[in-house]
Structure 1
């Protein structure tokens, strides 16, 4: 078989494998939302604003580049193995390098990396620049469970542990809960709202990861890392601790329940917290009370000034009448003998 025949056979094999993969993927079951799907390939369906950009970056840019490079290297290996084996090329070449080829294989990878960077850096910036959040959650990793707080809403200490029935495959199937993913308590967030998650740990390094949100960040003791997401679909989404953290690392799942804003407010009230509407109403009432107190104080001060202004003329009029009365000599002891002298004569 000649060189052309081998290349055609290789291309045919690649085409056959690709077609088989496509058919297998199309024949697979509809992927589940928020959790792994058996025999499914690729990333989980995403439900966040930035997740769509991540998927395009991977499927539309990285994966084609990786595929082209892999096929090109495979073709080179096949060509070299056939063209330059001992039988086909008994006399090896004597040259040690080729300047043009070395320039090409240095410049082309640089160009590829620059193209990737031009798309990846803005995406990283969007993940790092947290917009003004609607809900702030603090997620604390422990061996081996997660604790959630809503510091701005007054809710603390929601501990999420693996459901006992989810720890066994048969019991999980009977209970219709995801194996090693379901938790007793859930992180509840509203749909269509920016959720800012502050991630830390109490003991060792953990990692808070939810594939459907395309978010992952390490939970480091003594450090506060951040991530954010904006889920656009109501549902339940699962993740796991993604940093080897000890004996029960595999039993430290994450379950996030995305609900309507009204249901989220009910959840916060049920946990003993206050909704944003309640906090806003209290702040409005406090502001109104402060304004009223300031107005009352100003009115009282104005009344005191008016009373002082009215009392001033009365005091000024009373002062001259009192002075002549004090100056009359008839009541003095020295004047009495002088008045009595003519009467004695």
Structure 2
């Protein structure tokens, strides 16, 4: 019963897409697992326990809200038909009704309790991070993300959106990135989030996570992906002119594939020390530039020394 309305929404979306000439191609079913799909009406399919709880709570609220709206609409219709001037020329002089007053006090309280109890439980699950198998530090920057793996070699890399003209077949527009965050399937992943410049927000709908990336503060969330695949999210806090162009891509792989990726990443993203002639290059560049830029590069040379 809790999924009836969701099924109706999905069916309506399918009919709509068919009517518009099949805007979602044959890969739409797979794509919808970790990313939005054309003409989507509901939420993305859950791929983590927290998101499953969120979807269940959403369905519960949908039934409650539908019942409340139907009741209010019914009362409006009854009052309009029975108590208009033509049908009821002599208005009632009733000043109070104890039963009605008790009902409209007790029933809302019961509804609020029914809503509050599971919401507090879900909030506790979201905020209570279990023992992590993998820790990833995500740093929001204008306008891309940087990921660090402190327990797997302390390497770090940047993740930028792939321009539309460079997309490969199957890569989603405005969501694909050059370097994906990689995690193992079935493992608890702790994500430590911060910002390097302004406030950002790390959000991946399929995992049911969204947390602010605040400069000077280290926030924390977690997820446990249940299926392999690529799951997309976006920065969800207005952070400047290119806010819409800093997507999040999380690739979930097997534990063996993750171990192999870590070994490759240690070599690929290893910190490269500056060349020995860096101060000389800085000095030469400063000499070639106008006087306004020279003092700044002189400071850089001093720091390098």
TM-score, normalized by the shorter chain, greater than 0.5: yes
Q: Distance in 1 between matches of 2:98 and 2:218?
A: 50
| Contact 1:155-1:271 at 8 Å conserved across structures | no
Does structure 1 retain, via aligned residues, the 8 Å contact 2:10–2:42?
no
Calculate the aligned-residue CA RMSD, in Å. 2.6
Q: Distance in 1 between matches of 2:176 and 2:65?
A: 35
Structure 1 unaligned regions, length at least 5:
1-16, 274-345
Distance between the aligned counterparts of 2:7 and 2:56, measured in 1?
Answer: 22
Q: Specify whether residues 21 and 35 from structure 1 end up closer, same or farther in structure 2 by C-alpha distance, changes over 3 A only.
A: closer
User: Shift of the alpha carbon at 1:21?
Assistant: 5.5
| Residue 39, structure 1, aligned to residue 39, structure 2 | yes
d(CA) in 2 for partners of 1:223 and 1:232? 29
- 2:242 pairs, out of 248, 251, 256, with 248
TM-score, structure 2 as length reference: 0.75
SS of 2:164 mapped into structure 1? helix
The alpha-carbon deviation at position 175 of structure 1 amounts to 4.2
In structure 1, what is the Cα distance between the partners aligned to 2:253 and 2:7?
40
Structure (1/2) with the larger helix percentage: 1
Is the CA contact 1:190–1:258 (under 8 Å) kept in the aligned structure 2?
yes
Aligned-partner Cα distance in 2 for 1:189–1:21 = 32
Task: Give the distance between the partners of 1:134 and 1:36, measured in 2 at CA.
Answer: 28
In structure 2, relative to structure 1, the CA distance for the partners of 1:114 and 1:19 (3 Å cut) is: closer
1:1-345 matches, within 5 Å, as 23-25=11-13, 27=15, 31=29, 32-59=32-59, 61-165=60-164, 175-272=169-266
Deviation at 1:209, TM superposition (A): 0.8
Aligned mates of 1:35, 1:57 — CA distance in 2: 21
Deviation at 1:20, TM superposition (A): 7.5
Return 5+ residue gaps in structure 2 as ranges.
18-23, 268-305
Cα separation, partners in 2 of 1:243 and 1:86, compared to 1, 3 Å = farther
C-alpha distance in 1 between matches for 2:38 and 2:227? 22
- In 1, Cα distance between equivalents of 2:56 and 2:247: 27
Distance between the aligned counterparts of 1:84 and 1:212, measured in 2?
50
Conservation of the 8 A alpha-carbon contact between 2:199 and 2:237 = yes
TM-score, reference length from structure 1:
0.66
CA distance in 2: counterparts of 1:96 and 1:219, whole angstroms: 55
The structure that has the greater radius of gyration is 1
Q: 1:265 to 1:104 in 2, by over 3 A?
A: same
Moved more, 32-41 or 20-29: 20-29
Query: What is the DSSP-based 3-state SS (H/G/I as helix, E as strand, rest coil) of the residue aligned with 2:266?
Result: coil
